[in-house]
Every structure is written in C-alpha cells, then in structure tokens.
Structure 1
C-alpha cells in the first residue's frame, strides 16, 4: 500500500480543526499548530480533533510532507513561510475585508491572493484549495467515492505533481478533485467569484474554469 503523506495544519480554528477531523478519519497522520495565544491547545485539539497531534511550528514543518495554511488571512504574516522550501503548501485562506479590514496592497495587486502568498517563498510548492467551501460543510458534505451527489473541490497550482498529491487527499476525505491548472486560476475560488461557496459537481466546477479561460 502506498504510504500516505503526513499533514501539518497551521491554524487550530474552525477550518483547521474540521480538516483535522476529516484527515484523521481518512487515516492520515496529522499535526496541528495554533496561535501562541491559544491556551490549553492540547486539551482543545483532544476534544475537537482527537487523533491530531499538537506540535510547535518547527516540529510541524519538519514532520509534514504537506502543510495546510488555515489561519485568518490577516494573520498570514505569522506563518513561517521561509521554512517551507520544497514542501507542498496548501493555501486554504480567504481575504475577508469585513474580518481582515481593507488591505490596500492586496486590493491593488492584480495577482490572485495565492500568487501573492507564493512570493513569500518561491521555493515552496504552493497550491490553492480547501478554501471555497465552509468549515460547516466539510464534514456534512463529504461522501464516498462514486456517490452521484459528491461535491467537487478544485486544486490550482503551478506544480502538477503537487496538485496531484492534494487531489488524492481531497478524494480520500470525501470530495471529487478537479484540476484547475495554474495558480493564477485561484481567483475563481476566491470570495466574490464563481466557485466560492457553491455546491458543484466535478463537471460544473471544471466548466467554470473553462469559462474563465475563455474569458481571459
């Protein structure tokens, strides 16, 4: 049997812990790191994501093949991006002005938010995914492979092998993976854009990427 990648999650909030539960249930080794301000983090994770292991940032990076960044967008600067060389890194964040405030540099940048994050460390293998469904839908909507009602999640990134690894993880936790191509296409998955928050089949989601390419 092929060995599954070990997974680290930065962010012990609702998104991070929901992902941890799904991943542990699917048989992955999961480590999770939270804010230094979070007290009794081991107790919290033991209750809401049993089976996940609380780790320091350094421990998480050293032991993880895939790193999921699920902190609030405005806290992205607290993530140790410089330590992610060679790692597959999943940007699961969303820019929410009502929460993050208006960020003029982000607003003025023509790139997708994931391309902006990629510039923090070009040596990481960044993909965008897991951001375009709500944390409350993650467990409710997960279904076995082949179920006709199975919801699709997209993966975009400039590294095809990294996209393929994440696609396997998405399938294992109960969703159909759609290859959305390069990282620039991540805009389709952002708030205010076509795929965000919608329950879509693989065919419907693939069609949105095709439409975006045609309009470009």
Structure 2
C-alpha cells in the first residue's frame, strides 16, 4: 500500500523531471503511465528500465489512467495538456518559465500571473498543486531521505485546495522530502525561477525565510 492510498500516477511529459519522478513512483509501489509529445514508442528505453509497473501512452491515456497526474512539459506547451480526462483530478505542476525557450508571456513578465496559475486556468475542473519545480532533476533520486532524518531536504508546494496539498505533501514525504506549504497558487511565484528558494538545498525550517525574501 502506498502512503497516499493511490495506485497509478500519470505523467504528461517524461523528460528529466518526469523520468526521475517516475523512478521514485515505481520504487514506492506505484504504477505509472508515461507520455510525451513524440509518441509512446519513443519511451521504450525508459519503460524497459522501470519494468512491469510502467507503461507508455498518449497524453490523453496518461491523463485518463492516473489517479494523480504530473504535468511536466515546457511552459509553451501547457495549452496542449488535455483538459477533459483531468476533470476532478489533482494535477502536480512542475513547470518553470524560461522565456529563452518558451518565448515571452507578458502576464508572467508583468507579474500578473504565475506559471501554475496559467495551468489552473487551462484546467478549470482540476486541482493544480505546484511542486518539484525548484529542485534539479538529478537531485530528486539522490537527495531524499527518510522521515525524521536530521537536516532532511524540504520542498515548497503551493495550491488553492488544502486537501490536495495534503495529499501532495504525503507524496513528497514518501519520496524523501519535507513539504512546506507556500500558500496559494498566487503565491507560487515565490519559488519560481531566480528566486531565493529556487534550486537550492533547504531544510523545512529554512524555506519560509527564503520564500519571504523573494522579490517580484
């Protein structure tokens, strides 16, 4: 039995972050359904590595199969995330805004929106929780530790639904990290790119100060 009580996690996007989270999920007893923009056949090597708990599909199939779904695509592609199969589901958003890659989005440049707020607006029937965006992909499988470990690494999360955040916090704990509630999606900019809490190792006790020190 997994800590969250869920059995299947879907992945829309299976690159660096998605692949690492899928490894953690399989290691903790979850089945995973992986997808990307290039087609299921391009995921054959990763599926072979992950073993019988992993399958590949289309984004729609991953969205349908997952009780919880991780969206980890370039921000410029967020409007291609399927909407209908994610209705009523918790969606973890790992995305970051890299204007060099994604092009400029004026609402983000002006501080009028957040990355995860854009995804939430695209998925009005889903519950988006921001997580795993402020850690290097390689660190996901190498810097986690057991609950109660001294100086355990903490990661901030943000969302508008308390129950959804609690479930995601449970998943983070299972994967080796202390979750720290950073507030609503409107506050999620505090651990976006180039802020003090971005891709630095922090304990749970250190995170609130880093979040408070963010300047928009």
TM-score scaled to structure 1, two decimals?
A: 0.89
Deviations along 1:57-92, whole A, 9 cap, x unmatched?
332222211111011112212211343211101111
The yes-or-no answer on 1:185 pairing with 2:161 is no
The answer to whether the Cα contact below 8 Å between 2:40 and 2:58 also exists between their aligned partners in 1 is no
Alignment: residue pair count: 213
Match of 1:44 in 2: 45
3-state DSSP of counterpart to 2:142: helix
Deviations along 1:119-176, whole A, 9 cap, x unmatched?
1122211110110101011111111111113211111100000000100110111111
Deviations along 1:28-64, whole A, 9 cap, x unmatched?
22111111x2473342222443332212233222221
Give the counterpart of 1:169 among 168, 171, 175. Answer: 171
Match of 1:15 in 2: 17
Match of 1:80 in 2: 82
Please state how far the C-alpha of 1:212 moved relative to its aligned partner: 5.9
Match of 2:200 in 1: 198
3-state DSSP of counterpart to 2:73: coil
List aligned pairs for 1:80-119, cutoff 5 A.
80-108=82-110, 110-119=112-121
Please state how far the C-alpha of 1:105 moved relative to its aligned partner: 4.5
3-state DSSP of counterpart to 2:201: coil
The answer to whether the Cα contact below 8 Å between 1:82 and 1:120 also exists between their aligned partners in 2 is no
Match of 1:62 in 2: 64
Give the counterpart of 1:130 among 121, 129, 132. Answer: 132
List aligned pairs for 1:141-152, cutoff 5 A.
141-152=143-154
Gaps of 5+ in 2: none
The answer to whether the Cα contact below 8 Å between 2:40 and 2:57 also exists between their aligned partners in 1 is no
Gaps of 5+ in 1: none
Please state how far the C-alpha of 1:208 moved relative to its aligned partner: 3.2
| 42 and 101 in structure 1: CA distance in 2 versus 1, 3 angstrom threshold | closer
The answer to whether the Cα contact below 8 Å between 1:5 and 1:66 also exists between their aligned partners in 2 is no
Runs of 4+ in 1 over 6 A off after TM superposition: none
